[in-house]
Amino acid sequence: MSAHGLLVLDKPQGLTSREALDRAAKWFPRKTKIGHAGTLDPLATGVLVLAVGQATRLVEYVQAMPKVYRTRIRLGAMSDTDDADGTVTANPSAMPVDEATASAALAGFVGEIEQVPPAYSAAHVEGKRAYDLARRGSELTLSTRRVRIDRIDLLSYDWPDLELEVHCGKGTYIRSIARDLGARLGVGGYVTALRRLRIGPFTVDDAVSLDADADAAGCRLLPPAAAVGELPTLRVTADEARRLRHGQSIPAAGDGLTAVVNEAGDLVAVGHIAGGLLRPEKVVRMGDDPSG
């Protein structure tokens, strides 16, 4: 039987997101389509949402959800990757910074800010991944991008280390915060530990370990509708569901992006309502759905 849905994985340290996904793939039938939402660096651990089967069509909605990270940053040195996995260079002239100064500098990162991704990142430069170019020694000029940081809580500070909890939007690099905080304080900074605690409603408490077996992983598979749980929901009849799955619009009240479910509560499509019509943008086709 085909598997469709979302699986929240607790990614361990030392694996890329792709390597973690490949190991999780053993839990599902051969040739099952699997993707992930929101890349984590090898150093990072925590929430990695896997999309299985038809849910792979919904990855963009999970990626757009707000995120929460716990991180430890070391001041007084710099890294070419902006984390402890890179080549670290101490700043011999760095003087200890008091907590009040560090807190004031952190406050300047909250809100809508312009951020330059790390050189070793999945950001695209002329159609290629930045980390591929950086590893070849290419000179990189990465463009700034606007990101949203909702909150930064300073949990502990003992020079040169500080621990933060960061609430942020899509596309925010915690390594860039560490690098830019160090630059703002004039001492340098890089990430020594990073854990993603949450993506939208998905938390580490929901997550399964890579040490789990197929039965345990299968029991934790969430329905595709979980990918759009934060959108308004419209329930439709079997006939309306059939029309949507054939790319046809249906009459609907409301406005904007909407999740469409059938009479059983299963996700049919994600559509956009405007002018009294809902036009399907992403259609979910389950093989055992009679309305399909």
3-state secondary structure 274-287: ECCEEEEEEECCCC
125 three-state secondary structure: strand
Q: Give every CB contact of residue 205 below 8 A, 6+ residues apart in sequence.
A: none
Please state whether beta strands 45-52 and 189-199 pair in parallel, antiparallel, or not at all (unpaired): parallel
Catalytic residue (one of 41, 82, 85, 289): 41
Q: What three-state secondary structure class fits 63?
A: helix
Catalytic site includes residue 211: no
> b/e string for 248-275 if b means 16 or more Cβ within 10 A?
ebbebeeeeebbbbbeeebbbbbbbbee
Long-range contact pairs involving 236-242 (C-beta distance under 8 Å, separation at least 24): 236/260, 236/261, 236/262, 236/263, 236/268, 237/262, 237/263, 238/262, 238/263, 238/290, 238/291, 241/268, 241/269, 241/291, 241/292, 242/291, 242/292
Q: Decide: residue 162, CB within 10 A, 0-12 exposed, 13-18 middle, 19+ buried.
A: buried
Q: Which residues pair with 86 in a beta bridge?
A: none
Nearest to 197 by CA among 44, 89, 95: 44
Residue 70 has φ and ψ, to the nearest 5°, of -110, 125
Active site residues: 41
